[in-house]
Chains A and B, each alone.
Chain A
Amino acid sequence: AQKITQTQPGMFVQEKEAVTLDCTYDTSDPSYGLFWYKQPSSGEMIFLIYQGSYDQQNATEGRYSLNFQKARKSANLVISASQLGDSAMYFCAMREGLGYSTLTFGKGTMLLVSP
């Protein structure tokens, strides 16, 4: 079974609108962390936001917020007021447990922001 599932291969949104990118995860470890990365067409991986499994509040970083629903095992990324520069591939990732465990990635969602 996949540990990270991103069901939307591509999403379209108009500039200034909000968009939600879906991510569900599968783990039996009570300690885990969830990450979102952005990959623009230039190829680099840019860290956006992190949510720990014990964090009581949803993480926020500027226009990015993470809608963390622990019981549903979902960690959706919400981008408010989309900008043209948000057009990129977005990856959800999870690290289970503590220490040196692997960061496992989903297959990604391509977001296109139109004027």
Chain B
Amino acid sequence: EAQVTQNPRYLITVTGKKLTVTCSQNMNHEYMSWYRQDPGLGLRQIYYSMNVEVTDKGDVPEGYKVSRKEKRNFPLILESPSPNQTSLYFCASRPGTGGSSYNEQFFGPGTRLTVL
């Protein structure tokens, strides 16, 4: 089954304790991205990657890191989490450019993170 998986689905942690949220897709997609969703703000992009070893900042990258060592995986790293990073996080993937603005984006199930 074609899917994007994220782990963990739920996480409660404390300020300053490094954490990683994993994301994996089995569709051989080139493009992967991370979003955070906060009430009243919709989804905002944190980082994206156009292919292996190619990453770039989205709209809200502060406090986050990513890596893309393999095509299927795109982990999100919070080196020193703070309470304002409490949010719902989504990983997404889609095919690379095909000369179309389409290319449906597939979302993972989300990771609900609470930083105390």
| In contact, A108 and B42 (Cβ under 8 angstroms) | yes
Stretch at the interface among A14-22, A39-47, A62-70: A39-47
- B75 on the interface (CB 8 Å rule)? no
On chain B, the residues within 8 Å of A43 by CB distance are: 88, 109-110, 112
Q: Name which residue of chain B comes closest to A54, CB basis.
A: B101
Choose among B33, B43, B58, B110 the residue that contacts A44 (Cβ–Cβ < 8 A). B110
A residues in contact with B88, CB < 8 Å:
43
User: Interface 1/0s, chain A 98-115, versus B by CB < 8 A?
Assistant: 111111111110000000
Task: Answer whether residue A32 sits at the interface, using C-beta atoms and an 8 A cutoff.
Answer: yes
Give residues of chain A (77-115) contacting chain B, Cβ–Cβ below 8 Å: 91, 93, 95-108
Task: Decide: A102 near B45, CB < 8 A? Known: A44-B109, A44-B110, A45-B90.
Answer: yes
Give the distance to chain B from A49, nearest Cβ to Cβ, in Å.
Answer: 10
Q: Give residues of chain B (50-64) contacting chain A, Cβ–Cβ below 8 Å.
A: 50, 58-59
Q: Annotate B3-22 by CB proximity to A: 1 below 8 A, 0 otherwise.
A: 00000000000000000000
Provide the bound-state CA to CA distance between A59 and B33, in Å.
26
Most chain B CB within 10 A, of A45, A47, A50, A91, is at A45
- Residue pairs across A and B with Cβ atoms less than 8 A apart, 17 shown, are A37-B107, A43-B112, A44-B107, A44-B109, A44-B110, A45-B92, A45-B107, A52-B101, A53-B101, A95-B101, A97-B101, A98-B101, A99-B96, A100-B97, A105-B35, A105-B43, A107-B40
- Interface residues, chain B, CB within 8 Å of chain A? 31, 33, 35, 40-45, 48, 50, 58-59, 88, 90, 92, 96-97, 99-102, 104-107, 109-110, 112
Question: A residues touching B (Cβ–Cβ < 8 Å)?
Answer: 4, 31-33, 35, 37, 43-45, 47, 50, 52-53, 91, 93, 95-108
